[in-house]
């Protein structure tokens, strides 16, 4: 069998794809000249990461049995899920022993450079120590039936981890799925959270790509999401050297720069970059058309916060619009994001092209 990957109008670089399995035996890889591309089988699909196809061209591969080296490995110690890329730690999802809700920490760019703040999990010299609930990267919102599941102030709500439902690893991707409850301060459940997080393999200085599928369903009756800026369904607190006053840079899909041009505006993606340990690194969060109120609005601050918040329309529009939303019993609210941890700034990392590959991946065709 042969596979043809058609780039379309733009170049494809380090681009994850998921495609139907061909008829016949399932191959373990693809070969084009000296280029070897591992495949990972799941159900009736195959996943791969396209190294490079130039704009307007196509790349032809022959299916082959290949020896897999590296990939994505996940391990669960009962309190955290660790994620390694080619044997190097990328992140941990800490779900046990948390004061309010699970979080990802550390989050490391190529070379082991942190892109998120360590405090309050760990004291690091010269880091800011404001907003103790800004725990690296996490899911939260500040007004759910009146409950504050954003801060760690007295009376705050919780996201209570219930189960790890799946852990897989492989040469192309790894994934975990978990179930949690959003509760009030007394432990009464309001929402069920189902989250699937997929980590794509990356070598050397390639960007580190994470896909998040977050689904919230009322546990009992209807749930009202209030209009408040205090929240980010996916939130990042960047490493302090990346803060704008320290030379960092915020950029969104429309070319908006820093807080005055990005806070409170809807955009398909937002990127935060800066120099950490002598290396320019960044983290981008991308919204997908399957998400509620796509493209999301952004609660993003020069002091280091970046959150996808589609509800705070009163704050964003000076009271002209109201973002309050009632999620009815039996319904599910879905948020689909891609996170890219990269070297350089948004332009260096081709974040626009990565976004377009996320929402419009290249065409693939199996031939005999």
pLDDT digits (tens, 9 = 90+) for 237-250: 999 999 999 999 99
Domains identified in the chain, total number: 2
In a domain, 365, yes or no: no
In a domain, 305, yes or no: yes
Domain that holds residue 20: 2-67
Count CA atoms closer than 13 A to 334's CA, side-chain side.
Answer: 9
Burial class (CB in 10 A: 0-12, 13-18, 19+), 330: exposed
Q: Which residues contact 202 (CB under 8 A, 6 or more apart)?
A: 14, 85, 86, 110, 208, 209
Identify the pLDDT of residue 196: 98
Whether residue 16 is found in the same domain as residue 146:
no
Whether residue 40 is found in the same domain as residue 138:
no
Residue 126 banded pLDDT, cuts 50, 70, 90: very high
Q: Is 151:162 a contact under the CB 8 Å cutoff? A: no
CATH number at residue 272: 2.70.98
Identify the pLDDT of residue 23: 82
Q: In the listed set 36, 67, 98, which residue is the last one of a domain according to the structure?
A: 67
The predicted model gives 185-194 an average pLDDT of 98
Q: Which residues contact 265 (CB under 8 A, 6 or more apart)?
A: 252, 254, 256, 297, 298, 316
- Exposure pattern of 91-126 as b/e (b: 16+ CB <10 Å)? bbbbbeebebbbbbbbbbbbeebbbbbbbbbeeeee
The predicted model gives 80-102 an average pLDDT of 97
Q: Specify the residue for token string 């009464």.
A: 188
Whether residue 48 is found in the same domain as residue 192:
no
Whether residue 119 is found in the same domain as residue 18:
no
Whether residue 53 is found in the same domain as residue 85:
no
In a domain, 368, yes or no: no
Whether residue 35 is found in the same domain as residue 128:
no
The predicted model gives 317-338 an average pLDDT of 98
Whether residue 78 is found in the same domain as residue 57:
no
Whether residue 42 is found in the same domain as residue 77:
no
Whether residue 249 is found in the same domain as residue 273:
yes
Three-state SS for 317?
A: helix
The predicted model gives 86-95 an average pLDDT of 97
The predicted model gives 172-178 an average pLDDT of 98
Q: Specify the residue for token string 């959270």.
A: 193
Q: Specify the residue for token string 């690893």.
A: 169
Whether residue 301 is found in the same domain as residue 266:
yes
Whether residue 242 is found in the same domain as residue 178:
yes
Whether residue 221 is found in the same domain as residue 291:
yes
């Amino acid at each position: 069998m042969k596979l043809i990957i058609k780039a379309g109008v733009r170049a494809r670089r380090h681009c994850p794809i998921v495609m139907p399995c061909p008829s016949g035996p399932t191959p373990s890889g693809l070969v084009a000249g000296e280029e070897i591309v591992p495949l990972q089988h799941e159900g009736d699909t195959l996943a791969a990461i396209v190294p490079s196809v130039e704009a307007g061209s196509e790349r032809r591969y022959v299916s082959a049995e290949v020896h897999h080296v590296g990939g994505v490995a996940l391990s669960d110690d009962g309190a955290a899920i660790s994620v390694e890329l080619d044997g190097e730690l990328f992140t941990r999802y800490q779900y046990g022993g948390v004061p309010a809700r699970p979080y990802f920490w550390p989050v490391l760019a190529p070379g082991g450079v942190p892109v998120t703040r360590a405090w309050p999990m760990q004291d690091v010299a010269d880091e800011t120590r404001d907003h103790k609930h800004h725990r690296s990267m996490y899911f939260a919102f500040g007004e759910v039936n009146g409950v504050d599941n954003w801060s760690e102030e007295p009376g705050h709500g919780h996201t209570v981890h219930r189960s790890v439902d799946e852990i897989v690893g492989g040469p192309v991707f790894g994934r975990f799925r978990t179930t949690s409850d959003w509760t009030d301060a007394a432990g009464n459940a309001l929402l069920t959270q189902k989250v699937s997080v997929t980590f794509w393999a990356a070598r050397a200085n390639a960007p580190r790509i994470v896909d998040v599928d977050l689904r919230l369903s009322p546990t009992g009756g209807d749930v009202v999401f209030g209009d408040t800026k205090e929240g980010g369904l996916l939130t990042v607190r960047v490493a302090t050297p990346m803060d704008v006053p320290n030379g960092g840079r915020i950029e969104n899909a429309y070319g908006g720069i820093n807080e005055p041009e990005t806070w409170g505006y809807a955009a398909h993606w937002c990127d935060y970059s800066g120099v950490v340990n002598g290396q320019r690194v960044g983290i981008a969060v991308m919204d997908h058309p399957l998400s509620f109120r796509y493209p999301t609005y952004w609660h993003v601050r020069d002091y280091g916060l970046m959150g996808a918040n589609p509800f705070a329309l009163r704050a964003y529009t000076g009271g002209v619009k109201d973002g309050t939303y009632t999620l009815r019993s039996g319904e599910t609210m879905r948020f689909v994001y891609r996170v890219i941890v990269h070297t350089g700034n948004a332009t260096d990392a081709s974040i626009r092209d990565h976004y377009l590959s996320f929402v419009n991946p290249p065409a693939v065709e199996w031939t005999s």
